[in-house]
Amino acid sequence: MTAAALQVRVPAGLRGYTGGRPVVDVDVAALGDAPTVGALLDHLATTLPDLERRVRDEQRRLRRHVNVFLGTENVRDLGEQATPVAAGDEVAIIPAVSGGA
Amino acid sequence: MIGTRKGLFLARSEDRAGWAIEGPAFPMNAVYAVAVDTRRETPRLLVGADSEHWGPSVFHSDDLGATWDEKEGGALRFPVETGAALTRAWQLQPAGPDQPDVVYAGVEPAALFRSDDGGDSFSLVEGLWDHPHRPQWQPGGGGLCLHTVVPHPTDADRVLVAVSAAGAYRTEDGGTTWQASNAGIQALHQPDPFPEFGQCVHKIARNPAEPEEMFLQNHGGVYRSHDGGGHWEAAENGLPATFGFPMVAHPHTPGTAYAFPLVADAHRMPPEDRLRVYRTTDGGDSWHALDAGLPEEPAYATVLRDALCADDATPAGVYFGTRGGDVFGSADEGETWASVARYLPDILSLRAAQVP
């Protein structure tokens, strides 16, 4: 990871969309002047569109049973997609514990 | 193709007697929509698979399921300006043989999409999305879904769709304008028993050899039409019950269709606790039970709207799958039945075809 990058951790179920990579580095400079989780996902929508569409729907809402963590905090408990991100952060996409039998 | 709540299974047979089962593909994805497109030089399998976590997507295979392709960015997505997001593909339906690259998708929230590249990518049919009735459509128990697409086999401009619980709509100009097509169908859950729209239609089947002849399983009520859906009349003589979900027309023979009745809305189990398919061979004048070879012990499983199908062989094969995970098949138009697969997850969708 370069000094200006953050890391996106990708769950096993979505690594088919990242060429098998469990971690994707993203240059924070690519996220605009006020980098946020939403800006990060907008960036992924252009660089890894299938990864992004499995995390958000067409209206760019986080899918109901997908959680995005900034470090150890669920962004739903922070500022949702307005949550700021910075170089050095780790953003993890994790499926919710749900799904029934 | 056997779509289940936990993935896709494939059953192959040389003689429609012994079956080899493969799968699951797309494990833990609910497969509500499957299609075998035999119009192409190489048959194409189409699948709508919903992940509880990662949402819905559409896949296709040109090698009979050995490998699957998923269009980058997704084949089936609502335009951002609609404000809508895809919940599920309920139906993937190849159009008539004169339009070999056209595939329709019926989805939830209720909308019709059309592909002109064999299902690789789809576009919203805006004429139906913009229909003035749409804001008044109410969801059925399965959500507000467009679950049935019935293209005309020889007239590309004519398509009929069914929406729960808005009823049937049809176009005669290739999708630009749509008319409610529910005349004669009773809406049991509304004060006006015969509204213009709002019927809870469960499935509609069109006879490929006699395209004006259609059969309809309503939420209470079995109907037929002799004018391509312009008017409907009850066709229930011989049925033990008028509730049910699927309806299938014979692939070649006019006047013949198949249904799987359930006791009632409030008792969704087979009459007399027996798995029985009902068939009409006289255009809906009468229906008769078919159960030779089906289990004689009590059975309580339902057959969902897309879990009864026919193949395109002669004599036609007929197949059904239950929410109990059993698939049964008949290689003689329903006269006798045998097990195709057992102990699968709940069966949501089923399609069969002859392939080279």
CB B106: neighbour CB atoms within 10 A? 25
In a domain, B96, yes or no: yes
Closest to B205 in 3D by CA, of B310, B132, B340, B286? B310
Q: What is the pTM of this model?
A: 0.96
In a domain, B17, yes or no: yes
Q: Could you identify the residue written with the tokens 């005669």?
A: B172
B6 DSSP 8-state letter: T
In a domain, B13, yes or no: yes
To the nearest whole Å, the CA of A71 is away from the closest chain B CA by 21
Q: Specify the DSSP element, H or E, that contains B36.
A: strand B29-37
Q: For residue B99, what pLDDT is reported?
A: 95
Give just the sign of the alpha carbon dihedral B157, B352, B259, B209. positive
Number of C-alpha atoms within 13 angstroms, CB side, residue A65?
14
Q: Could you identify the residue written with the tokens 């699968």?
A: B344
Please state the φ and ψ torsions of residue A38, each to the nearest 5 degrees.
Answer: -65, -45
pLDDT per residue, tens digit, chain B (356 aa), is 999 999 999 999 999 999 999 999 999 999 999 999 999 989 999 999 999 999 999 999 999 999 999 999 999 999 999 999 999 999 999 999 999 999 999 999 999 999 999 999 999 999 999 999 999 999 988 889 999 999 999 999 999 999 999 999 999 999 999 999 999 999 988 889 999 999 999 999 999 999 999 999 999 999 999 999 999 999 999 999 999 999 999 999 999 999 999 999 999 999 999 999 999 999 999 999 999 999 999 999 999 999 999 999 999 999 999 999 999 999 999 999 999 999 999 999 999 999 98
Residues in chain B: 356
To the nearest whole Å, the CA of B52 is away from the closest chain A CA by 6
In a domain, B9, yes or no: yes
CB-based contact A58 B85, cutoff 8 Å: yes
Q: For residue A99, what pLDDT is reported?
A: 61
Range of the domain at B207: 2-350
CB-based contact B85 A59, cutoff 8 Å: yes
In a domain, B356, yes or no: no
To the nearest whole Å, the CA of B55 is away from the closest chain A CA by 6
| Phi-psi group of B218: left, alpha or beta (phi > 0 → left; psi -120 to 50 → alpha; rest → beta) | beta
- Name chain B contacts of A95, Cβ cutoff 8 Å: 53-54
- Name chain A contacts of B28, Cβ cutoff 8 Å: 99
Give just the sign of the alpha carbon dihedral B347, B348, B352, B356. negative
Q: For residue A98, what pLDDT is reported?
A: 72
Number of domains in chain B: 1
CB-based contact B54 A13, cutoff 8 Å: yes
The per-residue b/e assignment along A43-80, b for 16 or more CB within 10 angstroms, e otherwise, is bbbeebebbbbbbbbbebebbeebbbbbeeeebeebee
Q: For residue B182, what pLDDT is reported?
A: 98
CB-based contact B74 A66, cutoff 8 Å: no
Query: Mean pLDDT in each 10-residue stretch from start to end of chain A (101 residues)?
Result: 87 96 97 96 97 98 97 97 98 86 67
Cβ atoms B345, B325 nearer than 8 A: yes
Q: How far apart are CA B306 and CA B137, in angstroms?
A: 22
Q: Find the residue in B nearest to A49 (Cα).
A: B73
Q: For residue B291, what pLDDT is reported?
A: 98
CB-based contact A98 B80, cutoff 8 Å: no
In a domain, B355, yes or no: no
CB-based contact A59 B83, cutoff 8 Å: yes
The 3-class secondary structure across chain A, one letter per residue, is CCCCEEEEECCHHHHHHCCCCCEEEEEHHHHCCCCEHHHHHHHHHHHCHHHHHHHECCCCCECCCEEEEECCEEHHHCCHHHCECCCCCEEEEEECCCCCC
CB-based contact B53 A66, cutoff 8 Å: yes
Given A50, A53, A58, which is nearest B80 (Cβ)?
A58
Cβ atoms B321, B307 nearer than 8 A: yes
Q: Which amino acid would we find at residue A34?
A: A
Given A14, A59, A61, which is nearest B54 (Cβ)?
A14
Rg (alpha carbons) of chain A, rounded to whole number: 13
Measured CA angle at B340 (ends B338, B346), to 5 deg: 120
- Name chain B contacts of A49, Cβ cutoff 8 Å: 72-74
CB-based contact B54 A95, cutoff 8 Å: yes
- Name chain B contacts of A13, Cβ cutoff 8 Å: 51, 53-54
Q: For residue A100, what pLDDT is reported?
A: 64
Tokens of B220: 């209470």
SS3 B147: strand
Q: Which domains are seen in chain A, by residue range?
A: 5-95 (3.10.20.30)
Given B54, B73, B78, which is nearest A49 (Cβ)?
B73
Cβ atoms B46, B30 nearer than 8 A: no
Q: How far apart are CA B356 and CA B351, in angstroms?
A: 16
- Name chain A contacts of B80, Cβ cutoff 8 Å: 58-59
| CB within 8 Å of B315: residues ≥ 6 apart | B331, B332, B333
In a domain, B233, yes or no: yes
Tokens of B44: 């194409």
In a domain, B169, yes or no: yes
CB-based contact A59 B84, cutoff 8 Å: yes
Closest to B23 in 3D by CA, of B313, B248, B260, B327? B327
To the nearest whole Å, the CA of A33 is away from the closest chain B CA by 25
Q: How far apart are CA B343 and CA B6, in angstroms?
A: 12
CB-based contact A59 B72, cutoff 8 Å: no
Residues in chain A: 101
Residues on B contacting A at a C-beta cutoff of 8 Å: 28, 51-55, 70, 72-74, 77-80, 83-86
Q: Find the residue in A nearest to B54 (Cα).
A: A54
Q: How far apart are CA B95 and CA B74, in angstroms?
A: 21
CATH number at residue B134: 2.130.10.10
